[in-house]
Amino acid sequence: MGEGALTFQEVGRVKDGMGAGVQLSPVYDPAAMEPDIYALWLRGDAFRAEADSGRPPFTIVIPPPNVTGSLHLGHALDNFLQDAVIRWRRMAGDEALWLPGTDHAGIATQHVVEERLAKEGLSRHALGREAFVERIWEWKEEYEAIILHQLRRLGASCDWSRLRFTMDEGCSRAVREVFVRLWERGLIYRGDYIINWCPDCRTALSDIEVEHEEVAAHLWTVHYPLEGGGMLSAVTTRPETIPGDTGLAVNPDDERYRQFHGRVARHPLLDRKLPVVADPAVKQGFGTGVVKVTPAHDPVDFEIGRRHGLPSPVVMDEGGRMTAAAGPYQGLDRQACREAVLADLQARGLLSRTEEYRHAVGHCYRCASPIEPLLSRQWFVRMPPLAGPAAAALERGELRFVPDRFARVYLEWLGGIRDWCISRQLWWGHRIPAWHCRQCGQTIVSRTTPETCDACGHRELEQDPDVLDTWFSSALWPFSTLGWPAATADLGYFFPTSLLVTGYDIIFFWVARMVFMSLEFTGKLPFDRVLIHGLVRDAHGRKMSKSKGTGVDPLEAVDRHGADALRFSLLAGNAPGNDLRFHWERVEHGRNFANKLWNAARFALMNLGDLDRPVMEAPVELADRWILARLRRAIEDTDRLLGRLDLGEAARRLEDFTWTELCDWYIELVKSRLHGQDPGARRRAQLALWRTLTATLQLLHPFLPFVTEAIWQHWPARTGLLCRASWPHPADYPADAEAERTMGPIMDVIRAIRTIRSEFNVPPASRATAWLVVADDQVARALEAGRDHVVQLAGLEELIVVREAISPPKGSATAVTAGAEVHVPLRELIDLDREADRIRRQLAGIARDGERSRQKLADPQFLNRAPAEVVAKEREREQEAAMRAEKLERHLRTLG
RNA sequence: GGGCGGUUGGCUCAGGGGUAGAGCGCCUGACUCACAUUCAGGAGAUCACUGGUUCAAAUCCAGUACCGCCCACCA
């Protein structure tokens, strides 16, 4: 509820005993702390979303991980992205729901369980369907538990009360409902068509489950004798299908073969007549221009066969062995049959040429064995009526991809789509809700098990043995998980969801299908934005693979460096949609950053002990004004970047702010006041530090949830949990361009003195004196205001600021910054030759810059056409260069 | 055969019309009272190539080369 919203009014009232005096442990130890923090969140029920809370809903449904195994780094990336977004929106005031769940993953899971059975010397056939499915449920329970444990270790802020599984009761009900409605609308049909068949998995596959891979093969030229003399030659890559040939085809426009239209050839191996038909599907330019037609084993041939009424004997069975229709080849497997056919053709002198040939062959995406196109009775979803609206939604701009180039991938697939084969000859999955009458053969599609045949009234009904493609249920995920088809409160409130986060590899499998199913059944898009990310590869850019041992277990990284470190390493600096490589060094860097924050917080806590009433108060000291202004910019930038879902840039921006501006500069600047004697100055410093770090913890929480929450639990005046706290608002932090401008010369001078000290090996302990020669009024004021800072951070004994040119003390090292001339007398430490060298090097650089500016300013085109602003800037640059050069040259002369 | 992405310091990557950024690595110094999982300083890049647009190109356009990915029913 409203808990955790941290306003300054509230802050003034709250005096939290947890805050003051409680110390963080001196060592940042994520492994020890993260599980406790997660438990704290669970105890606080922090991730629970309420329908109808009155707040704007923000919903993400998880891409349900397969229960085949444990999560890999790709999942980790996917989930970190979702979690970062959901935590951000939760803090920003939305009713944020991240709905978790897992996927039954039909073929894949059946596979792994069969493998496990094989190790026990069992097979699914030995067990029988029911017992086998029982075994898979056991597997599912085991791996689901592992996956959920992993998600919690990663810090996923899922609403666990809404956990779902694609085969749970609710999802199953939605699946049956959709199937029946599609059937009733004529969008599902059953029929005999060529489908992709995997002889190893012994199931049909959809088109996208086939992976095309270029292989070295052969192109054989086979002669077909013609009745009445002569012959035609056709080329083939698959001689094993020759027993299934029932015709020859040529292009109707092919002059070479016009005389053969309507003639009849003899099958080269079997006693069969093969009509020669003319069909436009035949390309004249390829091979001999004659195609052997094997309707049952090739998609193109199937169409040709249909058009010309050719028979379509199935000569290969579901295991890839030749059937009785293959005559003498019966019983051979496909490879043996190929060899036998080639040998027989050779013996008869009907094989004339064998060419080397490279072409793409389809392989099963699960087991990688070559796919056989096979004529088979399957269930299909009619795609054109569904794909059209899904494409139109994108074209109307209602659906957006981030990055938008992936929109084209989606559109092109929908544009060229063919009907979706949804039946699978597996045991694990949603059983097709169709029954066949043993008596009359009628097919009954029903939400519930029918008692009698609706055609003949017979009671002997048998349910279709097939199950549905896994992606059929995944396609319903955004609404089936929220209660559809019932009009639940969740569905009304959290649907449509707000964002989908997934990899580009499943745009077809999943994203597009969710869109058309949602449009068809809810009338709404399931989400209006899709954030696409790339693959996580190993350090060498290879795809990670468990079998090759190149995979990294996310939990190993979590154990070694913490979930925050892994998260930061996968998120920071990665552009949306791009693949990224996993490097342990980056995880270490993430750990270092978390450690940095931890220590900054420890420093603050040590110094905020007596700050019991933080209040909103305009900063007056320069450093405070500066850091709060910088913070405001960091918030604005973060909001802008998160708004366009560029989490990589947002994380990088926040790291830069935190590490460089807050830790390296501000904390150093503020130490003197915190440790000094002036109670007012100390209090103002405390307040600014508290405000800055409070906002920093809030901003970083989506990127480093554990460490920020752990710190928060010790934070003065905090309320509740950070993950339910508010998101900082830039308007709460005063913009202060003047403070930012003033800090510039101060930081420049500090850096210049540090550089000189470093280059001349001035011992860190020795307190030098520095002379600044400043001509410009503004810069002079800035440096006066920042005098203490310069003294402090540059390690000075004394800082002397003068307004006019002086001869610097003998034996000085010199640098020129924007607006100031810096002299550090080094006496015996200085090496005059070396100093002259330094100056000459600096001069060379300045000369180059000055020359470039002069050239530009001498170009009338530039002066006329470039914006006045740009020209003015160039003039400034030129003058600056001239001034610096002059000063350095003067100094060089004094060196003799 | 179509399409998409990449080519930026030794490595891995951001950026993207107005004088090149980060992390890691490297070199020099420092165990400075939050942090050596650190601090300070430094070296290191004609942003793949060729043309074009522009006052101005690493950035936009066209083409080339190489790398990667996706799609595709020339048997």
Q: Which of the nucleotides lies closest to A504 (Cα–C1')?
A: B70
Q: How far apart are CA A600 and CA A684, in angstroms?
A: 18
CA–C1' gap, A470 and B8, in angstroms: 43
Give the β-pairing of A580-581 and A536-537.
parallel
Q: Which of the nucleotides lies closest to A856 (Cα–C1')?
A: B55
Q: Which of A775, A741, A744, A795 is nearest to A879 (CA)?
A: A775
Write out which nucleotides of chain B lie closer than 7 A to a protein Cβ. Answer: 3-6, 12-15, 18-19, 21-25, 28-30, 32-35, 37-42, 54-56, 70-75
Report whether A507 contacts A519 (CB < 8 A): no
Task: Write the burial class of residue A358 (CB in 10 Å: 0-12 exposed, 13-18 middle, 19+ buried).
Answer: exposed
Helices (H) and strands (E) in chain A, counts: 29, 29
Q: Is the CB of A862 under 7 A from strand B?
A: yes
Report whether A703 contacts A567 (CB < 8 A): yes
Give Cα A645 distance to the centre of its chain. 11
Report whether A716 contacts A20 (CB < 8 A): yes
Q: Which of the nucleotides lies closest to A507 (Cα–C1')?
A: B70
CA–C1' gap, A144 and B68, in angstroms: 34
Report whether A277 contacts A305 (CB < 8 A): no
Cα torsion A149, A155, A161, A164: sign: negative
Instruction: Specify the 3-state DSSP secondary structure of A615.
Output: coil
Block residue for tokens 């009761």: A169
Q: Is the CB of A234 under 7 A from strand B?
A: yes
Report whether A60 contacts A78 (CB < 8 A): no
Q: Is the CB of A214 under 7 A from strand B?
A: yes
Q: Which of the nucleotides lies closest to A300 (Cα–C1')?
A: B73
Q: Which of A412, A420, A423 is nearest to A382 (CA)?
A: A420
Block residue for tokens 């040429």: A353
CA–C1' gap, A748 and B56, in angstroms: 29
pLDDT of residue A549: 62
Burial A660-670 (b: 16+ CB within 10 A, else e): ebbbebbbebb
Report whether A613 contacts A15 (CB < 8 A): yes
C-alpha Rg value of chain A to the nearest Å: 37
- What lies within 8 Å, CB to CB, of A284 at 6+ separation is A251, A253, A254
Report whether A6 contacts A725 (CB < 8 A): yes
- Nucleotide B12: nearest residue by CA–C1'? A581
Q: Which of A18, A23, A8 is nearest to A613 (CA)?
A: A8
Provide the residue type at A347 as one letter: A
pTM of the predicted structure, to 2 decimals? 0.93
Q: Is the CB of A683 under 7 A from strand B?
A: no
- Beta-carbon count within 10 A of A403 CB: 17
Instruction: Specify the 3-state DSSP secondary structure of A725.
Output: coil
Q: How far apart are CA A214 and CA A277, in angstroms?
A: 31
Q: How far apart are CA A513 and CA A478, in angstroms?
A: 11
Q: Which of the nucleotides lies closest to A655 (Cα–C1')?
A: B22
Report whether A511 contacts A502 (CB < 8 A): yes
Q: Which of the nucleotides lies closest to A217 (Cα–C1')?
A: B75
CA–C1' gap, A124 and B24, in angstroms: 51
pLDDT of residue A16: 42
pLDDT of residue A569: 96
Strand ranges for A706-808 from DSSP E = 768-774, 796-802
Q: Is the CB of A679 under 7 A from strand B?
A: no
Report whether A482 contacts A173 (CB < 8 A): no
Q: Which of A741, A755, A482 is nearest to A626 (CA)?
A: A741
Which residues of chain A have a pLDDT value below 70?
1-22, 545-550, 612, 896
Instruction: Specify the 3-state DSSP secondary structure of A148.
Output: helix
Q: Is the CB of A416 under 7 A from strand B?
A: yes
Angle at A607 between CA A602 and CA A609, to 5 degrees: 100
Report whether A885 contacts A848 (CB < 8 A): no
Angle at A795 between CA A794 and CA A796, to 5 degrees: 95
A494: left (phi over 0), alpha (psi -120 to 50) or beta: alpha
Backbone angles phi, psi at A533, to 5 degrees: -120, 170
Instruction: Specify the 3-state DSSP secondary structure of A204.
Output: strand
Q: Which of the nucleotides lies closest to A541 (Cα–C1')?
A: B68
pLDDT of residue A9: 34
End-to-end Cα, chain A, rounded Å: 74
Q: Is the CB of A838 under 7 A from strand B?
A: no
- Beta-carbon count within 10 A of A387 CB: 22
Q: How far apart are CA A843 and CA A829, in angstroms?
A: 23
Q: Is the CB of A877 under 7 A from strand B?
A: yes
pLDDT of residue A550: 65
CB < 7 Å to strand B — which of 335-364 in chain A?
359-360
Within A608-657, where are the H helices? 622-643, 647-656
CA–C1' gap, A379 and B22, in angstroms: 54
Q: Which of A503, A517, A711, A694 is nearest to A82 (CA)?
A: A503
Q: How far apart are CA A148 and CA A163, in angstroms?
A: 10
